[in-house]
Amino acid sequence: MQRTYIIIASILGMLGVAIGAFGSHILEPIIGSRIEIFKTGVEYHFVHALAILLTAILAGQLGESAMLRWAARLFAIGVIFFSGSLYVLCITGVKVLGAITPIGGVCFIAGWILLALSAARAGKRA
């Protein structure tokens, strides 16, 4: 689990840098005020790439578990749905894509809950 999710976090982090630079240098003059929405997508993308990395490192400290695996998965799915929908919305202007964004937000919240539960359970075993 650790190796896999460290790789996923690294790829998502790299993509966050590339997408953020693309937005700042190429898209901003094209999409105008929607750049703020784009920046929100990049911000959540980065935070949750780091959350996946943290989850992988914690798996080494607390021991691997299904909850930690699902936390990392939900963070990754959240990046796809939340940030991805915001990126596509900004580029295409199709506002109906905004209906997908909350699915990603729920994934983020569920991932954080699972991360907290994993730590709480590990504390009881120690």
> In the 3-class helix/strand/coil scheme, how is 98-113 assigned residue by residue?
HHCHHHHHHHHHHHHH
pLDDT in tens, 25-68: 999 889 998 999 999 999 999 999 999 999 999 999 989 999 99
Predicted TM-score (pTM) of the model is: 0.93
- Angstrom distance (rounded) from CA 115 to CA 102: 20
Domain spans of the chain, in order of start: 2-125
Question: What is the model's pLDDT at position 5?
Answer: 95
How many angstroms separate the most distant Cα atoms in the chain? 55
Contact between 40 and 100 (Cβ < 8 Å)? no
Q: Which of 92, 8, 70, 95 is nearest to 45 (CA)?
A: 8
DSSP state of 126: -
pLDDT in tens, 67-123: 999 999 999 999 999 999 999 999 998 989 889 999 999 999 999 999 999 999 986
Q: Measured in whole angstroms, how far is the alpha carbon of residue 67 from the centre of its chain? A: 17
